[in-house]
Structure 1
Amino acid sequence: MRDLVRWRLSRLSQECSSSLAIASVIGHEFDVDILGTTAKIDEIRLLDLLDEARQAGLVHEDHDQPARYVFSHSVVRRFLRDSLGVTRAARLHRQIGDAFQARQASAHAELAHHYWACADPAVADRAVHYARLAGDRALAEAAFDGAVLHYRRALDVLERNGGGLRAELLLALGDAHGRAGEYPARDARFVEAATVARDSDVTDLFTRAAFGYGGVLPPAVSPDPQGQALLEETLERLGNADSPARARALGRLAHWVHHERPYAERVALCEEAIAMARRVNDLATLAIVLCHRCWALDGPRDVDEQLADAAEILRLGEELGNHELLLDGLRIRMSARFRRGDFELAADTAATLADLARELRHPEFLRMAAMWDVVVATIEGRYEHAQRLTGELQTRLRQLGHSQTELILIGQALPMLWLRGHLGETRSLIDDIATLQSQIQIWPAMRAWLGAESAADDQVRKLLGSLSPDAPAKLDENYSWWATIVAFIQTVTAIGDRVWAGKLYELILPFARHNATLGLAGFLGAVTHHLGVLAATLGRWDAACAHLEAALQRHHAMGSPPFAALTQMEYALVLMSRGSDGDRERAEELRTAALRTAAQLGLKAVQTRAARQVPHA
């Protein structure tokens, strides 16, 4: 192909070849006016030269855009560009950039490219200016990879030529990395921006870096001294006076220390942030700190308040035209509806969130939508589909460099592992994570549950004996609260510990209408199911029947054969133990239905329960 191009060029006039070489620097497509200005050839002569090139098959006219030509093949353009020296090409980029700048309607991306490529210190300020504008435009158009390229080029020019915009460009690049789904690069740029801003003592830029670090982060399940330190330094820099920035910093800090500071302390931080946001009358700040409150608290008693917060966030997002606030409001509403037991409403909200996340190409909310798809498939017992979706999610999380990849995958797999009798296979992984994250309250409960699953009753009794039965009531009410409580319930009902069962029953009774969930990661059954097995352990047969009947209705309404089967088996055992009129016949119906589903879906947890004739009492 290159030999053919060389032969065709050899048949052209020298003036035509030179003009095409200049055009190759403009781009694969080029404008007659820009080429004429750069080559200093009048329009009539230039059109004659382009006719010569067209007849040689090297270019053709763009029929959709008059006065615009296109190289016939990328090899043609590369050959011509290679014929130019580095210095000559750089000088042409400068001239082309000037020609584009003179034509005020030129795209910023074209100007940015040519001024960057000319490597001329005299136009470094223009290179940075247009690269920033091009990056901003790409970000607004959801062309996130393009935004990263433009901001990187602006930084490259600054590093070559000096300049005082480094912190601002690092902030823009960090944001672009985040929207492109490049999380480690995002956080590295924000740390760099914070360092530059600190050295320059520019509080506004430092504050923006602190807010950018971590992105739209989920509950911080692992201590991150870097993020916390940035927020605390921000608060020191801002002082005690009311301001939108201080309100945001307080709210984000409460969010960041979700698993590190007590619930009451997080509540106080949130209340101070929200009150301040209302005092300064900044609607965007108010919406943001409401989002942070929902992340920071996120316990069983926060559901109704989260629904109210979601409504206000959505209203403010609409009023401000802020799509990211709309995504946050939808995420909060979806999670709260799911936990409150409004599964159909949660699913409707999830669909709206997924549509908007796809439209905006927002990686974090696309991740949440993908998690919801796994939850639904698991609830419905479509386990092969759930595993395929989990594999796709795992790939996405690793591409993002998400800090919680392993934890998300465990949370999503937990319900299926439990019901299919494979929970014990996670022992080594859970032990490793528990060692690394000893501050997270779920891990002792998970270890006890694993012991109960493997019938290590003596070990489980020893572990529970090291804790007070009042310990669950003292647990911090946060994201992992329900998973921790369910783990304890599974443990104490397996060994029939009535003291623990009584304490747990009273603890979760106020939430009887709710679902036990692990945020958006997993469904652990209707709370009435767990109340039923606790009541059965206590020998309260009538209460157990009432709870399990309600759970069965919930699980059927949710279209969940696996959890319906689990409840049917527990219900059958309770009826057999109560022995009232008609109980035995009803129990047999429930048992038969449960075992049928268990055989179809491989629910070993249900089959194992069938081997026990009566609940502990």
Structure 2
Amino acid sequence: MEWPAIPLPRRFQVARRSRLVGRRHELAELEGIWSRVEDGDGQVVLLGGEPGAGKTRLAVEVAGALHDHGVPVLIAAAGKDAGVPYQPVVELLDHLFEHAPCCATERGEVCPLLAGAPYDLGRISGRAARHHAPEVTRTSGDARRDLFDALAMLLRRLAEEQPLAVVLDDLQWATQPTVALLKHVAGSTVDSRLLLMATFRTTAPDRSPELSEHLADLHRLDGVHRLDLGGLDTAAIADFVSEHAGISASAARQPASILRDRTGGNPFYLREMWTDVQRHGGVESLRDGRSVPASIADTIAVRLAGVGPEVLEIVQLAAVLGDSFDIATLVTASEVGGTRSVEAVDSAVSAGLLEAVDDPPARYGFVHSLTRQVVLDRLPAARLQPLHAQAAHALDRGPETSPDLYPRLAHHYLCAHPLGYREQAYRYACLAARQAAHSLAFEDAAGWFERAAALPETAADEVADSLFGAAQNYLRASEFARARDIYDRLTEMPDPLTRLRAAMGFEDTNWRPGPIDARAAELLATAIADCGLPEDDVRHVRATASLARALAFAGQHDRAESLGSRAMAMARRTDDRATVMHTLRTGLWHDLLPGGVDRQLDRVRELTALAREAVDHESLAEAAHFGALASYLAGRPVELEGYIRQERAAAASGRQPFMDYTATCMMQSRAFRRGEFDEAERLADAALQIGEFDAESTDGPHSVQLFMIRRETGRLDAVRPLVTGQEQFAGRWLPGLLALYTELGLTDGMRRTLRTLLARDVESYVADARFPIELAFLADAAADLADAEAMDTLLPFLTAYAGGNIATGQFVAVFGSADRYLARFAEAGGDHGAADRLFASALAMDRRMGSAVHIAETLARHAVVLHRRGDDPARAARLAAEARSHAEPIRQLRVLRWLDAISVGATPDGLTGRELDVLRLLAAGLSNREIGAQLFISANTAANHVRSILLKTGATNRTQAARYATDHDLV
């Protein structure tokens, strides 16, 4: 398909009129980046710098140069003031659909590119309809994901025939949903001939923590480049002065040096300063410091003071309208009449304050956003509020108002509400919120609802409705802490039904994760009692189910199961599917031990069926999470893999960060179990980045994940010189410190920490999501120390997992079979027969789960036990050899060190542990090549080991060596 040229928007064409000064290095780097795009390797360029650094000018230069060479370029800018959701993306699409040929033309039609899209882009771009977009039939069931996928698909298809460039200016003003969409497109087009460039400010107050987080996420993708623009150097400024003053390069050096000192090389400051210099006599005036204002703001202020009061009023109104505005709206909002308003705009253009952004001029904009900011900063509230009211009146068309104007009207009325516009401000803020939610911009929606609720003299029911809207949208955006805070406020409202709804909302955010306490249960119990609803009322049933989950989360499992079962029975009597689903979801928290697996899986299967029927991705993800946990605890690997697939699919469709987090933790634990330690660490880091919505709940799990990996790979040695065993306990997670002491063999520290931990009421900690981790760490330490009292205390809790596996609720850590720990307890207590049986049971479980890490550990632990007993050295040697065969390929140094310790001196002839392994395989009749394959070494290395064995044992050939192995009970 041959694409016709799509013109650059007028405002960006205007920006190219002046010659670009400097930036040779940046342009050279961008040329190299474009070469990769042409080779089919998608690239992302993040162009940062302070205000006025020339980011837009450089981006426009690149866009214009590509456009001149026939490359399709889509370019738009985010606006500082409130706009429609995904505003710059809408601007891009509008421009594309407006100028691309429709299906009636012979070439370049857009219609085929929209075919099969999972989302009708006409819902966000009114100009898409001219291309007769086909009906959407293939969707994921999640509109936000479908929108993101549809845009990515369109851009990929555009780039199939020839490279494509997309430029987003002023990313610092884009809303969170817009940046999320950008991240999705970047991640989905890495193998397309697409250049995605975005400019953003790097200085406060425009640089936000949210933007920094999103940029960090983008940096993890391949093909992402960060270019930060500094000031122009003196040579570049001299070039500018030479051109504009008409003097030689050598004559321009001195004034260029002065301008460099006074502007810092900032291109916008330079331009403004130069305008001022020209008004005061040209280059010579630079020698007179009085002719150059001390700050650029003063420069702009002086220019504003020189335009006259009527022109100034129009410029102030224009600043309230936005970075750009259409002349018709300005005239309508103005109080001086159409002709005088237009004349004032012309005067502002002549003064270098405004410029036309289309031709013929119908829209105008400020020459730079800093100019507009200076105008707004100098406006007192008494003047600013009436201007917002004028702007709102000009845009408000009552029932015929376009939804695209809701955000702008909400912004203006909110700013003007002290003048008597509270009702309009509330109405349009709620309309803007609903439009944002409809467009899947959940964070924007929550913000509008919060602003509506904050309006003074708003009725209590309106405040409550708005706050519920804000909390629900923060929940959909996985901003759990913010949602929780709003629900907490709502629990203090006077209406009991409002308090009940708020208490349920608070509980629903509290487990995603949240603090482990009884507050959610207390709020729900009080709210249910205050409402006095009949038992068959679905609100009462759902609240009761929520209370049951809150009790389970607070550790009251028996009461939670009883109350949850009662709620489930009541829900089934109502025959309301949504209520049944709610009670099933909350019921999944009641029993997280192997004994409750069958009941858990029954609930999971029922919830999965109902969720699929309702296309409820969140319920599908939750069912998959608990189904996977139950399957792992019970040792059912086939079901576990099925639920992992379900979780990943639900997370991909649901597009909620917490769902992505749990799915990633599942994948991380699977990689760990398989001994894929590099992949496990990569996924742990990915989970941390996804899970930054709650630092208290993600930093700890990430630390545990890294500890588990480094423990197995021997990387804890790096901290050995830093740890004494006498560390202070304050501010430390003691189970983790105990595990570190255990691995480093610091017995004094182990005893001190174990004693401190067991002095508490262990039963009270069972509800903590980290308890399975603590139990495994405590059990290891107690067994290593052969501490009978500690083992007696821990045995009942460990026995609850007998016959199953140990794991945390979100798969942050997995420990394999609990019977391995029970075997160590039995051995320490002198019951060797029970220990052997439990080790065999543990090994069978670990093999069934296909967990290389845990198979090696169980074999090695048993081998160590048998070696210490000394009554069956042949069996100990066989187990050790098999353990080594699992541990060596994955470089599980923790296990290999245990094996090395029991292999030294294992034979009277000083055979090493490795030589014993080779000897056993040699005795079994394997060739050097086969031995190498078994032990993951080369055939030459195996041959070297055989020669050493013959030398040490005095055997003259392989047959005699095999007889030696038999005689010494090594096989």
Q: Distance in 2 between matches of 1:345 and 1:37?
A: 66
Aligned equivalent of 1:30: 325
Aligned partners of 2:681 and 2:709 also within 8 Å: no
Q: Would the aligned equivalents of 1:299 and 1:479 in 2 still touch at CA under 8 Å?
A: no
1:227 aligns with 2:490: no
Match of residue 586, structure 1, among 878, 895, 909: 878
| Kept in 2: contact 1:565–1:597 (CA 8 A) | no
**CA positional deviation for 1:217:** 3.2
Q: Does 1:170 align with 2:463?
A: no
User: Which of 885, 894, 897 is the aligned partner of 1:607?
Assistant: 897
Q: Bigger CA drift: 69-78 or 8-17?
A: 8-17
Aligned to 1:438: none
Q: 1:371 to 1:548 in 2, by over 3 A?
A: closer
**Residue 58 of structure 1 pairs with residue 354 of structure 2:** yes
Describe the SS at the equivalent of 1:516. Answer: strand
In structure 2, stretches of 5+ residues that fail to align are 1-267, 276-299, 907-971
Is the contact made by 1:290 and 1:309 (CA closer than 8 Å) also made in structure 2?
A: yes
Q: Does 1:189 pair with 2:480? A: no
Q: How does 1:5-404 map to 2 (within 5 A)?
A: 18-39=313-334, 58-61=354-357, 69-82=364-377, 84-102=379-397, 103-107=400-404, 108-158=406-456, 161-164=457-460, 165-179=462-476, 182-195=479-492, 197=493, 200=494, 202-218=495-511, 224-239=517-532, 240-258=534-552, 260-342=554-636, 346=640, 349-350=643-644, 353=647, 357=651, 362-381=656-675, 383=677, 390=684, 400-404=693-697
* CA distance in 1 between partners of 2:762 and 2:437 (Å): 47
Assess if the C-alpha contact under 8 Å between 2:584 and 2:607 holds in 1: yes
SS in 2 for 1:524: strand
User: Is 2:816 the partner of 1:525?
Assistant: yes
| Alpha-carbon distance between aligned partners in 2 of 1:314 and 1:168, rounded to the nearest angstrom | 31
Q: Secondary structure at the match of 1:525?
A: strand
Larger relative helix fraction: 1
CA offsets, 1:450-470, max 9 Å, x none?
Answer: 69965579969x979x99xxx
* RMSD of aligned Cα (Å): 5.1
Check 1:68–1:205 CA distance in 2 against 1; reply closer, same or farther (3 A cut).
Answer: farther
Q: 1:85 to 1:479 in 2, by over 3 A?
A: closer
**Matched-pair contact (CA < 8 Å) for 1:415–1:523:** no
From the superposition, tell whether residues 317 and 182 of structure 1 become closer, same or farther in structure 2 (CA, over 3 Å): same
* Alignment TM-score, normalising by the size of structure 1: 0.75
Kept in 1, the 8 Å contact 2:742–2:780? The answer is no
Aligned residues: 587
* CA deviation after TM superposition for structure 1 residue 233, in Å: 0.7
Q: What code does the residue aligned with 2:408 have? A: E
Rounded Cα–Cα distance in structure 2 between residues aligned with 1:278 and 1:552: 39
Q: Could you report, residue by residue, the CA deviation over 1:392-442 in whole angstroms, capped at 9, with x for unpaired residues?
A: 756776x5345545653565456447645969979968887789xxxxxxx
Which residue type is aligned with residue 602 of structure 2?
A: A
**Bigger CA drift: 354-363 or 446-455?**
446-455
Counterpart residue type for residue 308 of structure 1: D
> Aligned pair in 2 of structure 1 residues 497, 148: CA closer, same or farther (>3 Å)?
same
Give, as a single letter, the amino acid of the residue that structure 2 aligns with 1:23.
A
Conserved? CA contact 1:263–1:476, under 8 Å: no
The CA deviation string for residues 135-156 of structure 1, in whole angstroms up to 9 with x for no partner, is 3433454434423432332233
Range with bigger deviation, 265-274 or 221-230: 221-230
Kindly indicate whether the alpha-carbon contact (under 8 Å) linking 1:532 and 1:547 is maintained by their aligned counterparts in 2.
no
Q: Is the 8 A contact 2:422 2:455 kept in 1?
A: yes
In structure 1, what residue type is equivalent to 2:549? H
Shift of 1:565: 2.5
What's the TM-score once normalised by structure 2's chain length? 0.51
Q: CA 1:262/1:80 → structure 2, altered by over 3 Å: closer, same or farther?
A: closer
- Residue range with higher mean Cα deviation, 24-33 or 492-501: 492-501
Amino acid at match of 2:431: L
Q: Contact conserved, 1:61 with 1:68, CA < 8 A, in 2?
A: yes
Change over 3 Å in CA distance of 1:317–1:540 after alignment to 2: closer
- Matched with 2:172 is none
User: In the alignment, is the contact (CA less than 8 A) between 2:822 and 2:835 conserved in 1?
Assistant: no
Q: 1:31 deviation in Å?
A: 3.8
Structure with more relative contact order (C-alpha pairs < 8 Å, separation 6 or more): 1
Alpha carbons of 1:411 and 1:312: their partners in 2 closer, same or farther (altered >3 Å)?
Answer: farther
- Amino-acid identity (%): 20
SS in 2 for 1:213: helix
Question: Any idea what SS the aligned residue of 1:135 has?
Answer: helix
CA displacement at 1:267 relative to structure 2: 1.0
1:293 to partner: Cα distance = 1.2
Which consecutive residues of structure 1, in runs of 5 or more, have no partner in the other structure?
A: 436-442
* Bigger radius of gyration: 2
User: 1:496 & 1:364 partners in 2: Cα distance?
Assistant: 40
SS at match of 2:815: strand
Q: CA deviation at 1:130?
A: 1.8
